[in-house]
């Protein structure tokens, strides 16, 4: 079967669905709907919503046929495809000076080296794309479906600088491509990876001025510092932000936030948590994040966690349920909360709030929060999502040995802290208990002799894990 057909093969057909009644089967490859050739899943989703659409498909033996699906408008056809995109994966054609994948060490699993910059995936999964790997014709086709939102990696609105930073001769048309999306009424969220000496300072001002002038469906822009690993041999020489530069950047962004509140009624531009921590500044209040539009970009995650924990522990009905459950809890409450260096201080504060609640219920919690230094990628990488199983095991073992030699636990059987380790779920591969270095949770549990508990993203998850995990 031709490779383009392979991308459109049906994986399964729901029993009793319009597709099954029409005779479609697993293994058939759908090529067109109502006479419209399918380029990808967006064409399929758009045309299959019609009442009684015709579907053209090819059997495994190569025979082509067309059937009509008897269905109501927007009724699900009952088809699941082998490839959810109905198209081949699109590799990134950029050579960005700050590309994190170029800074990965050799020998890791193949999927970690795949460079994605596919606009279609941005619509489907919320990933950020530069728009350089999308032609104007395709951009207009996808914009015509009015799917929102789309997340765009801006980095700079200076065309010449953007070409240099992205290493792509077509990267300078960002203003024209944003116009296509915005004119179609699509909501756009932007991202700026800030690199000292490149797109900060005056260049950042120019970019923010340009973005503030766009229509209001350009919804937000997050500003994150460049991530630099120790594997940069032969790459463009870059450096991390100093504390002074981080402070200057936050102050500049705060000026634009005040301006945006007057112009737009919201803060519009949001600095990542890393900038505030690096600058030694407190995080903005929950209301300053306007519903957290850039949460998955590391913007406001710590503030949201604290706000959710505060809300739960301040809610009378929730507190009543927690107290009732704690009455019947026999096992000691405690453990080690392992996190990245950026989140350490805030997570220690939030953990103490949970511990204080447990004490108010007559319990004696015993928690320790430990920042895991990133030896694998290097000291400049401080987020919890890039902590490896190897670093976690090694440093928790070192801490245990130090406590055994001269800490307060010397000569005593330790309980509470050492029997459980809490980690954030973003340390693991999505849907699997595997760290970046392919160490499994089971491997780490065996090495440490403890139970490891991955904690979900919400404040409720955090409370549940620490009190009852």
Same domain, yes or no: 105 and 35: no
Whether 396 is covered by a domain: the verdict is yes
Same domain for 258 and 273, yes or no, is yes
Please report the pLDDT score of residue 413 as a whole number: 42
Give mean pLDDT, residues 14-21: 96
In a domain, 73, yes or no: yes
Q: What is the pLDDT of residues 330-374, one digit of tens each?
A: 888 999 999 999 999 999 999 999 999 999 999 999 999 999 999
Tell me the CATH number at 61: 2.30.42.10
What average pLDDT does this structure show over 20-36?
95
Q: Please indicate, yes or no, if residue 339 is contained in any of the structural domains.
A: yes
Does residue 93 sit within a domain? no
Domain boundary among 264, 298, 332: 298
Q: Are residues 29 and 43 in the same domain?
A: yes
pTM of the model: 0.84
pLDDT of residue 76: 93
pLDDT tens-digit readout, 382-398: 999 999 999 999 999 99
Tell me: do 205 and 317 sit in the same domain.
no
Mark whether 39 and 63 lie in a shared domain. yes
pLDDT, tens only, 138-162: 889 888 888 888 999 999 999 999 9
Q: Are residues 278 and 320 in the same domain?
A: no
pLDDT-based confidence at residue 120 (cuts at 50, 70, 90) = low
Q: Examine the domain organization and report whether 111 and 254 are in the same domain.
A: yes
Q: Does residue 89 lie in a domain region? A: no
Name 54's Cβ contacts closer than 8 Å, sequence gap at least 6: 33, 34, 35, 66, 67, 68, 69
Quote the domain boundaries for residue 25.
3-81
Mean pLDDT throughout 278-295? 92
Does residue 448 sit in the same domain as residue 317? yes
* Residue 94 placed within a domain: no
Residues 367 and 224 in one domain: no
47-to-8, 43, 138, 152, 185 alpha-carbon distances in Å? 15, 6, 17, 26, 20
Looking at the fold, whether 212 and 326 belong to one and the same domain comes out as no
Boundary (domain end) residue, out of 298, 315, 347: 298
pLDDT for the residue 92:
82
Position 177 in a domain: yes
- The reply to whether 263 and 122 lie within a common domain is yes
CATH number of the domain that 176 lies in? Answer: 3.80.30
Asked whether residue 87 is assigned to any structural domain, the reply reads no
pLDDT value of residue 36: 92
Domain end (from 242, 276, 298): 298
Identify the pLDDT of residue 400.
85
351 and 268 in one domain?
no
The total of structural domains in the chain comes to 3
Residue 426 CB: number of other CB atoms within 10 A? 19
């Amino acid at each position: 079967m031709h490779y383009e057909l392979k991308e459109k093969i049906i994986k399964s057909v729901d029993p009793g669905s319009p597709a099954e009644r029409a005779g479609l089967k697993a293994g058939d490859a759908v090529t067109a709907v109502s006479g419209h050739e399918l380029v990808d899943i967006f064409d399929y989703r758009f045309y299959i919503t019609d009442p009684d659409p015709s579907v053209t498909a090819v059997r495994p033996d190569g025979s082509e046929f067309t059937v009509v699906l008897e269905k109501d408008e927007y009724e699900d056809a009952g088809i699941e495809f082998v490839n959810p995109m109905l198209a081949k994966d699109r590799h990134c054609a950029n050579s960005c000076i700050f590309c994190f994948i170029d800074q990965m060490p050799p020998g890791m699993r193949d999927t970690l080296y795949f460079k994605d910059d596919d606009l279609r995936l941005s619509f489907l999964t919320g990933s950020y794309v530069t728009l350089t790997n999308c032609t104007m014709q395709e951009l207009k086709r996808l914009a015509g479906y009015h799917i929102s939102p789309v997340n765009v990696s801006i980095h700079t609105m200076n065309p010449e600088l953007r070409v240099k930073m992205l290493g792509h001769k077509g990267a300078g048309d960002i203003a024209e491509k944003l116009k296509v999306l915005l004119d179609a009424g699509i909501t756009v969220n932007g991202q700026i990876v800030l690199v000292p000496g490149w797109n900060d300072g005056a260049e950042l001002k120019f970019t923010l001025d340009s973005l503030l002038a766009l229509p209001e469906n350009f919804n937000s822009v997050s500003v994150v510092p460049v991530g630099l690993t120790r594997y940069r041999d032969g790459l463009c020489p870059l450096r991390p932000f100093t504390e002074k530069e981080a402070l200057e950047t936050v102050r500049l962004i705060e000026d634009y936030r005040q301006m945006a509140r007057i112009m737009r009624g919201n803060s519009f531009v949001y600095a990542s948590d890393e900038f505030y921590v690096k600058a030694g500044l407190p995080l903005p209040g929950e209301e300053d994040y306007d519903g957290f539009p850039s949460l998955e970009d590391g913007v406001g995650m710590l503030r949201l966690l604290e706000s959710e924990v505060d809300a739960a522990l301040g809610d009378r009905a929730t507190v009543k349920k927690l107290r009732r459950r704690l009455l019947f809890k026999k096992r000691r409450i405690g453990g080690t909360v392992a996190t990245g260096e950026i989140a350490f201080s805030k997570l220690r504060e939030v953990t103490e709030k949970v511990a204080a609640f447990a004490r108010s219920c007559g319990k004696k919690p015993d928690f320790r929060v430990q920042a895991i230094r990133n030896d694998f990628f290097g000291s400049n990488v401080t987020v919890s999502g890039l902590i490896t199983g190897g670093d976690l095991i090694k440093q928790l073992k070192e801490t245990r040995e130090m406590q055994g030699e001269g800490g307060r636990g010397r000569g005593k059987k330790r309980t509470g802290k050492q029997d459980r380790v809490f980690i954030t779920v973003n340390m693991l591969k999505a849907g699997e208990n595997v760290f970046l270095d392919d160490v499994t949770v089971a491997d780490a549990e065996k090495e440490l002799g403890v139970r490891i508990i991955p904690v979900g993203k919400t404040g409720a998850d955090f409370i549940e894990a620490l009190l009852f995990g």
